[in-house]
Structure 1
Amino acid sequence: MPASPSTARAINDRLALRLLQQDGPLTATQLKTLTGLSRPTVADLVERLQGAGLIHVVGETGADRRGPNARLYGIVADRALLAGLDVRTDSVAVVIADLLGATLAEATLPVGETEGDDAVERAVALLAATVRNAGSAPLHSVGIGAPGLIDPVTGELRDSSGLPSWHRSLVRALQERLPATVLVDNETNLAAVAEHRVGAARGHDTFVLIWLGHGVGAAVMLDGKVRRGASGGAGELGFLPVPGTAGTPSAVNCDGGFHSLASSAPLCELAARYGIAVADEGQEPGAAAAVRAALAGEGDGEGFLAALADRIALGAAAVASVLDPGLVLLSGEVGHAGGDALAARVEERLAAMSPLRTEVRAGLLGGTAVRRGALLAARDAAQEAIFAPGA
């Protein structure tokens, strides 16, 4: 059954908006070519989208030649604001952007271990102040990346041992107080979304991202979709039992699992054995600084990098043997610090441990990956609502 005229218009409008978002600004002729629509149909949709305040003229082509110039149309990016939050155990980072994802304002708030309700109020105030600094447009959508499990049915952040209680309180407070859509997802999943869309995994719809920072985790992307598992716990790599630890993990504690080999604290201890002493403090894990020092030639840098690659390869081999993703990204502050040099060492060891061909790359976005992913989630939600037919 052919689509009704109103449905056809809505489909055409959404197609044009998507092209303007991805490839814009564009002329009417370029829209005609890219959509395959007739010239009168494109003229109608341009007029319709301008009347709805969704697109506007942003310039002209051919300004250096004689004759009439074609108008360039672009998305009205300042129609609404988006926010991305990266909620860590000891800090909250905020980024505000327009509908096209251009960053307008950023801020970071350190949070002390003993702070509870205070942390929530300070974080809410930080978001409000950063939004004010970004402009006068309304805040439409907020994406939040947080450690811990996200319930796949309700979308809520679940209680997790070892995480501060203010995490759940902050998400609730933002959902209750903001006249905006508030979305929350696991931080590593959002990092994978960002690397897939704008980072090292562009062009790869199946891969696994291993996050190496203060803690460790993984995100599984299969056929272009993040897989969360039955309880939202897919990728809890810290609990993976591995050789080389003093015991095995439990249901409430990942000590003895991969966490005990590859999180920042044990990596700092490993670095010290090779003459590289870096304290694990501040927003960047000490292990990331140790990796940079090793690459710069401090202590027995080569020995430390070899031992580090051995440890990471254990987790990567387990992932590869089960999922055969073809690509593993080393992300987080440690993966970013190690770059191609660490990725190459891990890939070499992985090739010796598994018959499955697996490329290992360093993530491109480092510690910014979570808030970039949170911002992309907010952007998708806003565009789905604002660009929806009849919105």
Structure 2
Amino acid sequence: MPASPSTARAINDRLALRLLQQEGPLTAGRLKQLTGLSRPTVADLVERLMAAGLIEVVGESGEQRRGPNARVYGIVADRAHLAALDVRTEGVTVVISDLLGTELGRASLPIADDTGTGPAVEQAVALVERAAKESGADPLHTVGIGAPGLIDPATGELRDSSGLPEWHRRLVAALGDRLPARVIVENETNLAALAEQRDGAAHDRDTFVLLWLGLGTGAAVVLDGRLRRGASGGTGEIGFLPVPGTAALPSATDCAGGFHSLGGDAAVVALAGEHGLAGEGAEAGVRAAALVREAVAGEADGASRFLDSLADRLTIGVASVVAVLDPGCVVLGGEVGQAGGAVLAARVAERLGRMSPLPTEVRASVLGGGAVLRGALLMARDAAQDELFGPPSSR
């Protein structure tokens, strides 16, 4: 049955808005070409979208003729303001942006281990409120949060996880109570995968695995363009993967003895020390990345042997994932993955080729530790645009 006139108008409007978001400002003539709609239909939708405050004239084309076809239309960027949070055990970083993703402000706040749950939540919420106000982005429309831990696939909420601060879970509810904004949360590694697929190393892949190597270890699984969480939200908890080369087995509450004991930050620092490399004066995750970066640059004795040993360890985890999922592509993400770059990725790929019969590309992260914030911003922007423009499935 053909769509009603009102439904057809809504579909056309959403299509035009998505094109303006993806392609940037366009003339009515260009919209006609891209949508295949008639000139009168495009003129009508442009008028509707301008009346709704969703698009505006942002300039004129270089064409000689005058009139509506020469005007260039773009999305009203300040129609909605967004916040993206990267929540770590040691603090919070927030980025404020407009609807098109242009960064308007950024702020960070360390939160000490001995800070109580209530004070920690209050400090984090106040940071977001202050950043939004100072950026001229108050009120916020949508807040996207990236945090360690599992997301309950039934509720979309951050699950209680042993070893993680209680204020992480309380923060989501507190932001929802204090801000007139939609608040959504996702696992940090999953958001890193989203960012690498949109803007980074996996931009040309709809099936891949991101192996997160930073303060912790984790993996994100994207199959046929969709993020896979598993029955309990635990897909990618590779730190608990039992592997050879460790002194014990992991338990349900502690990943020590699992792959984390080979590829985690402390393990990388210890391995570097065994090869005569020693980073000083920084927390473990930063020090691990700095040591890998130094080894890649070849500035220290034992650098090549350290990279070989690290690649041996990482390949154990990568090969296990490849044997089960056959993703065709593995991205070495996080701060350590980015620091290792093509040098470390090539070492892992060579070893993987000898260990697995399944052809698999190994790529280095482009975004590194910044992928979590980028992914949180993309998640918030997608949610805001779906509300304002209508979801893509409605097109």
User: Is 2:364 the partner of 1:331?
Assistant: no
Residues 302-336 of structure 1: per-residue CA shift (max 9 Å, x gap)? 00000001111111000000000000000000001
Aligned to 2:205: 204
Report 1:41-80 matches (<5 A). 41-62=41-62, 66-68=64-66, 70-80=70-80
Q: CA deviation at 1:357?
A: 0.4
* 8 Å contact from structure 2 (residues 215, 284) kept in 1: no
2-side partners of 1:333 and 1:189: how far apart? 15
Q: CA deviation at 1:286?
A: 1.4
| Compared CA separation, residues 115 and 373, structure 1 to 2 (3 A) | same
Q: CA deviation at 1:110?
A: 1.1
Could you tell me the TM-score, scaled by structure 2's length? 0.96
Q: CA deviation at 1:71?
A: 0.6
Residues 132-169 of structure 1: per-residue CA shift (max 9 Å, x gap)? 12214531000101101110001111111111111111
2-side partners of 1:67 and 1:142: how far apart? 43
| Compared CA separation, residues 364 and 307, structure 1 to 2 (3 A) | same
Residues 31-80 of structure 1: per-residue CA shift (max 9 Å, x gap)? 00000000000000000000000000000111xx6442711000001111
Residues 64-105 of structure 1: per-residue CA shift (max 9 Å, x gap)? x64427110000011111111010111211011110111111
Consecutive unaligned residues of structure 2, counting only runs of 5 or more, are none
Relative to structure 2, which stretch is displaced further, 135-144 or 119-128? 135-144
Q: CA deviation at 1:284?
A: 4.6
Aligned to 2:232: 231
Aligned to 1:89: 89
Aligned to 1:19: 19
State the identity %. 66
User: Is 2:150 the partner of 1:152?
Assistant: no
Residues 243-279 of structure 1: per-residue CA shift (max 9 Å, x gap)? 0000110111100000000000011010001110114
Residues 326-364 of structure 1: per-residue CA shift (max 9 Å, x gap)? 000000000011111111111111111000000000111
- Code of the residue aligned with 1:202 in structure 2: it is H
| Compared CA separation, residues 66 and 22, structure 1 to 2 (3 A) | closer
Q: CA deviation at 1:285?
A: 2.7
1-side partners of 2:318 and 2:55: how far apart? 46
Aligned to 1:272: 273
Consecutive unaligned residues of structure 1, counting only runs of 5 or more, are none
Relative to structure 2, which stretch is displaced further, 241-250 or 159-168? 159-168
Residues 175-222 of structure 1: per-residue CA shift (max 9 Å, x gap)? 222111000110000100111111111120000000000110000000
SS at match of 1:151: coil
* 8 Å contact from structure 1 (residues 58, 74) kept in 2: yes
Could you tell me the TM-score, scaled by structure 1's length? 0.97
- Code of the residue aligned with 2:211 in structure 1: it is I
Q: CA deviation at 1:283?
A: 8.3
Q: CA deviation at 1:388?
A: 3.1
Report 1:277-316 matches (<5 A). 277-279=278-280, 281-282=282-283, 284-296=285-297, 297-316=299-318
Aligned to 1:263: 264
* 8 Å contact from structure 1 (residues 88, 146) kept in 2: yes
Aligned to 1:107: 107
1-side partners of 2:331 and 2:65: how far apart? 51
* 8 Å contact from structure 1 (residues 292, 337) kept in 2: yes
2-side partners of 1:342 and 1:25: how far apart? 40
* 8 Å contact from structure 1 (residues 268, 279) kept in 2: no
SS at match of 2:141: strand
* 8 Å contact from structure 1 (residues 82, 139) kept in 2: yes
| Compared CA separation, residues 6 and 220, structure 1 to 2 (3 A) | same
1-side partners of 2:64 and 2:151: how far apart? 59
Q: CA deviation at 1:280?
A: 7.7
Aligned to 2:192: 191
1-side partners of 2:322 and 2:224: how far apart? 16
SS at match of 1:139: coil
- Code of the residue aligned with 2:359 in structure 1: it is R
SS at match of 1:40: helix
2-side partners of 1:279 and 1:259: how far apart? 22
2-side partners of 1:200 and 1:323: how far apart? 19
User: Is 2:254 the partner of 1:250?
Assistant: no
SS at match of 2:251: coil
1-side partners of 2:282 and 2:246: how far apart? 23
| Compared CA separation, residues 255 and 186, structure 1 to 2 (3 A) | same
Report 1:33-48 matches (<5 A). 33-48=33-48
* 8 Å contact from structure 1 (residues 79, 137) kept in 2: no
SS at match of 1:361: strand
2-side partners of 1:180 and 1:377: how far apart? 14
User: Is 2:212 the partner of 1:214?
Assistant: no
Aligned to 1:127: 128
* 8 Å contact from structure 2 (residues 266, 284) kept in 1: no
SS at match of 1:267: helix
Q: CA deviation at 1:299?
A: 2.4
Count, aligned residues: 387
SS at match of 1:285: helix
SS at match of 1:49: helix
* 8 Å contact from structure 2 (residues 149, 158) kept in 1: yes
